Each structure stands twice: as C-alpha cells, then as structure tokens.
A and B are shown apart, each in its own frame.
Chain A
Amino acid sequence: MNVFRLVADLMHLASILILLLKIRKTRSAAGISFKSQLLYLIVFVTRYLDLFTHWVSLYNTAMKVFFIASSGYIVYQMQRRYRATWDPALDTFRIEFLLGGAAVMSLIFHTKFTFLELFWTYSIWLEAVAILPQLFQMSRTGEAETITAHYLFALGAYRGLYVVNWIYRYATEGYWEWIPFLAGMVQTVLYADFFYVYFSRVMRGKKFELP
C-alpha cells in the first residue's frame, strides 16, 4: 500500500458516499445515468469474484463488499424509490457496445485464460468506459448539479491516482500490469474534458456548465 493507492481508494469511497448523499438530500437521482451505475455494478461483481477464493486483507475484503453492496443498492434504489426522479429519455447511450467491446477486449488481451482472470480483465476494460453514458448524458443536458460534479470528480480521481500508483509501484517494487495501466489511462483521457470544466468552473464556485 502506498499513499497514491490509499488516497485513490478513499476518493472512490468518498465518491459513493457523495452520490448516496446527493440522492438522499435532493430526494432525486436526476442527472445520474442509470446505465453508468448499472455498468459499475457489473464491474464490481465481475472483478471481485475472487472474494471467495483469495484473502488479501480485512481492508481489501471490506472495500470489495462495500463497492458491490453500494453499487447494487444504488441500482436497486434508482429502479424503485427514485424511479420517477430521473429521465430514461436522457440516458440513451448504447451500452451494448461497451459490454460487447469489453468482452472482445478481455478475450484478446488477458494474462491467463481462466474463469476468474477473464472476468477480472473484463471488469478492468469495462470500468475504463463505464462513465461514458454519464458523460454522454451531461453533454446532452449541458450541465450538472454541483454535488454530482463532486461525485464525478472523486470517481475520476480514483482511477487517475491508481495510474500514479502503478507508475510508483513499478519504480519501487518492479510490479507491473499493463492491462489495468492502459485501461486507467483510457478512463483518465475520457475524463479530460470533465476535469477541465471541473477545475475551471466548479472549483471556483460556479455551476458545472458545458461551453
């Protein structure tokens, strides 16, 4: 564990707590892409299948359980209690391409052709693009609530900091895995426009609005 990874994990934790707070406080899931939330649920379920086969640490297990449980809870609540608060007509990104593309990528690019490893690799490729429906929805509406922008910033910073962690781990331990590194880079590049608007507007107290 190093400081980049710890802060990354805490940012990820914070992002979910901010999202839960947003939904509870505004009593609405407006502005949140259900499709992105569904993709994150698939990401965590497929990645943490090793929960039952590999023990790393209490920290590792607790975080995995939290990420699966919270993403499941959000998907469930968006379908139930908050169903009427968000508009599916705005959430029109075709996730079939993301689900299929990640499957193809994991079948071509993986380190071992085993059940667990293929699902783990699938989750890595899928996570890289899981934010696209959310970003697509925001580009259509042209704006976001400030709390939603904070949620997205924390979520984007998490994978961005993981990229820094991988460079640090390579330099200090010689540990290197190019698949998550590449996927983390792709995700960070997809976030570039969002980060720009976040730093230039939201951090200065203005509303998140696309030019």
Chain B
Amino acid sequence: ASTQVWHDEL
C-alpha cells in the first residue's frame, strides 16, 4: 500500500 495521501482535486 502507498503511504502517499491521494489527492484527486486541483
């Protein structure tokens, strides 16, 4: 699993 937070916005 990725430790990165997912950002789907701009």
Interface SS, A side:
helix
Q: Mark A159-187, 1 if CB is under 8 A from B, else 0.
A: 00010010000000000000010000000
Interface SS, B side:
loop
Say whether A64 contacts B4, CB under 8 Å: no
Say whether B9 contacts A117, CB under 8 Å: no
Contact of B10 among A53, A63, A114 (CB under 8 A): A63
Say whether A117 contacts B10, CB under 8 Å: no
Number of A-B contacts (CB under 8 A): 30
Say whether A114 contacts B4, CB under 8 Å: yes
Number of interface residues of A (CB under 8 A): 20
- How near does chain A come to B7, taking the closest CB pair, in angstroms? 6
Say whether A53 contacts B4, CB under 8 Å: yes
Say whether B5 contacts A64, CB under 8 Å: no
CB-nearest residue of chain B to A117: B5
Binding site for A on B (CB under 8 A): 3-10
- 5 A-B Cβ contacts within 8 A? A9-B10, A50-B4, A60-B10, A112-B4, A120-B5
